[in-house]
Amino acid sequence: MSGVLPLEVLAVTADPELARTLELVVEDDGDVLRSATTVEAALAAVRARPVVVAFVDLSVEAGAALALCHHLPALLGGVEVHAIVRPAELERGAEALSLGAAGVLVTPLTGDALARVLAATRERARREEQSRALEAKGVAERRRIEVYERLVRFARGAAPSEAVRAIVEGVAQLSGAKGVALYATFADEKSDRLRLAAVGDAVDLPATSPPADLARLVSLRSARVVPLVAAGTELAMLVLDGVPLALEAEVANVADLAAAMLAILDRQDHGGRIVASPSSFLAVAERLLLLAARHERRASVLALSFADSATPARRDAAAAEISEIVRATDALSGNDEGDLLLFLPETGGLGAHACRRRIVARLSGDRRARPRGAPRGPESQRPSALSPVCIGVATFPHDGTSLRRLVRSARTRAQDDARSAVHALGLDQLSLPELVDALLARPMLDAGPRSPFPLDVASPALFSLVARACTEAKRGGAPSVTTTLQPGLGVAAAARSASSPRVLDVRGQAGCEDLEAVVVESEHGTWVCTGRLRGDRFHGTHAADPLLADLLVRRLTAGGGSSAG
């Protein structure tokens, strides 16, 4: 079979006819046959060159060949020994099996029987080769992911010196190069190249060097130069000394990652703000999205749309506020329509919605959204509340596999956000029971994707619906579920059957004695269901509205609801 070298076969027999049969079958399959007529010759042959299968005629040397059924596996480990016996000596076959033989063949031998043994051995060798290849691939993939995660960690706040050091160490580890150096390049081609970091054999490369001199030195060492390019601009160059040609793909992969991380560092100003130009944003986001796809990671896009009355100054102020609370690895950019786009690498749906809530709190004047550990600035420099913002979230790969598709989905959802019942009915000004009654009074605002729809079902049907929703939410990972508590087959019991919800008992609040609510937030969507119990029936509404989900959870927790497990 393809991918498996010819088998090394040993035949131990003094019978010329048997030896001829073995020779014809083995060589016809393209394998290599070595012959021995004595026990001593057989042991010498396998010491000189290992074999994978041996055919041993137990009549050799008056039965002394029986010992080979034990000695050959002891010497070679993975060898298969097949004993050959005459019909009158079948009991010797049983002895051979007890000593370690893999099988017994009875004379007269046929070519088909021998061919089956060789085919089975060849298949075993093929499976073992595939297993070794998969193990090696798994080790390489784990190493690649470790380097990827280390580079992402440094970009989340490490100093530039630590960043460039992590780049050269990651490149050295993945490429197998004996030495790696990272040089800064400049728009002026005549400017000296500045060495930022080096490891291994590359530490003796000059700290600064004119481009021509560095090129000659690299050529003399037969080193490899890999430019790090982002948004059409060369940010730096890698010099790889002694890199194996077999790892060409690994070099390209880690170079892409290094260029993306350098682009992130390059666009940070001294205040830590990361507002990028549209072209730079697209280049960085597309590169990081490609890496997410290659390594089966998550990424998200947030589209932020402001009210028509928002002035450019207000939008700039909002961008400044947002840039202070997102991570260093997140890319923020404006566009011609005055909206903002935020790319979140290494972030799934739940993390993206957490970021969305943080931005809303920040722009509404909530100082709790200040970066952890950041000093409180003068209040005169911070607006108490910026222009209202609508935010749409799209997550890779649930909502698309290309940046264009993710941005389009996020913008569409930002428009849906503007049509939310929270805005249309002024729900954010209402208490928990008033909120539920307002939804019941106007159960369907429009036919939009986030419009609440009426739900009038028997209690067992509600139980099944909530259990199914919680089960579906687990397809993308562990969901976040919050429910109220009612006796019997309520939504809390349904959620517990499929998830581990946070259960809040609000029955002690006025107007909440018969109130039921469940909020399910998962990687691929949000679902809200709330209403009142009327006997054995549930009268309420349900919607796929993240804003309504956030508001309902806030009302449930802020209203004094006690945790019920």
The tens digit of pLDDT for each residue in 16-52 reads: 888 888 888 888 878 888 899 999 999 998 888 888 8
pLDDT at residue 207, rounded to an integer: 79
Distance CA 444, CA 453 (A): 5
pLDDT tens across 515-552, in order?
Answer: 999 999 988 889 999 999 988 899 999 999 999 999 99
Q: Which residue has the higher pLDDT, 104 or 156?
A: 104
> In degrees rounded to 5, what are phi and psi of residue 247?
-105, 35
Mean pLDDT on 396-419: 88
Report the percent of the chain where pLDDT is more than 90: 12
Residue 170 and residue 111 share a domain: no
Q: Which residue has the higher pLDDT, 283 or 183?
A: 183
pTM for this one? 0.52
pLDDT at residue 445, rounded to an integer: 60
pLDDT at residue 285, rounded to an integer: 79
Burial group, residue 204, by CB count within 10 angstroms (0-12, 13-18, 19+) = exposed
At residue 197 the predicted structure's pLDDT band, cuts being 50, 70 and 90, is confident
Mean pLDDT on 264-268: 55
Q: Which domain holds residue 452?
A: 426-563
* Neighbour tally for 266: CB within 10 Å: 16
At residue 273 the predicted structure's pLDDT band, cuts being 50, 70 and 90, is very low
Distance CA 463, CA 497 (A): 10
pLDDT at residue 548, rounded to an integer: 92
Instruction: Decide if 209 is inside a domain.
Output: yes
Mean pLDDT on 170-176: 78
Distance CA 399, CA 402 (A): 9
Judge contact between 63 and 69, C-beta under 8 A.
no
At residue 2 the predicted structure's pLDDT band, cuts being 50, 70 and 90, is very low
**Helix, strand, or coil (residue 442):** coil
Consecutive H or E run containing 306? strand 299-306
Residue 310 and residue 243 share a domain: no
Low-confidence winner among 128-132, 278-282, 374-378, 453-457 (lowest mean pLDDT) = 374-378
Distance CA 374, CA 222 (A): 49
Instruction: Decide if 505 is inside a domain.
Output: yes
Strand-pairing partners, residue 304, are 340, 391
Residue 335 and residue 248 share a domain: no
pLDDT at residue 171, rounded to an integer: 80
Ranges of H-type helices in 267-336 = 278-294, 312-325
Angle of helix 248-266 versus helix 160-175 axis, rounded to 10: 170
At residue 368 the predicted structure's pLDDT band, cuts being 50, 70 and 90, is very low
CATH number of the structural domain spanning residue 369: 3.30.70.270
Whether the per-residue pLDDT at 234 is higher than 50: the answer is: yes
Whether the per-residue pLDDT at 366 is higher than 70: the answer is: no
> Which one of 241, 266, 291 terminates a domain?
266
Distance CA 394, CA 301 (A): 5
Mean pLDDT on 169-193: 76
> Which one of 364, 390, 418 terminates a domain?
418
pLDDT tens across 290-348, in order?
Answer: 878 877 888 999 998 887 656 666 777 778 788 778 876 677 887 656 678 888 888 88
Residue 488 and residue 443 share a domain: yes
pLDDT at residue 229, rounded to an integer: 79
Distance CA 286, CA 326 (A): 19
Residue 324 and residue 251 share a domain: no
Residue 447 and residue 414 share a domain: no
- Domain count of the fold of the chain: 4
pLDDT at residue 274, rounded to an integer: 42
Distance CA 83, CA 99 (A): 11
DSSP state string for 124-188: HHHHHHHHHHHHHHHHHHHHHHHHHHHHHHHHTT--HHHHHHHHHHHHHHHH--SEEEEEE--SS
Residue 298 and residue 227 share a domain: no
- Mean pLDDT score of the chain: 80
pLDDT at residue 210, rounded to an integer: 84
pLDDT tens across 428-474, in order?
Answer: 889 999 999 999 887 666 657 778 899 999 988 888 899 888 888 88
Instruction: Decide if 142 is inside a domain.
Output: no
> Which one of 266, 300, 331 terminates a domain?
266
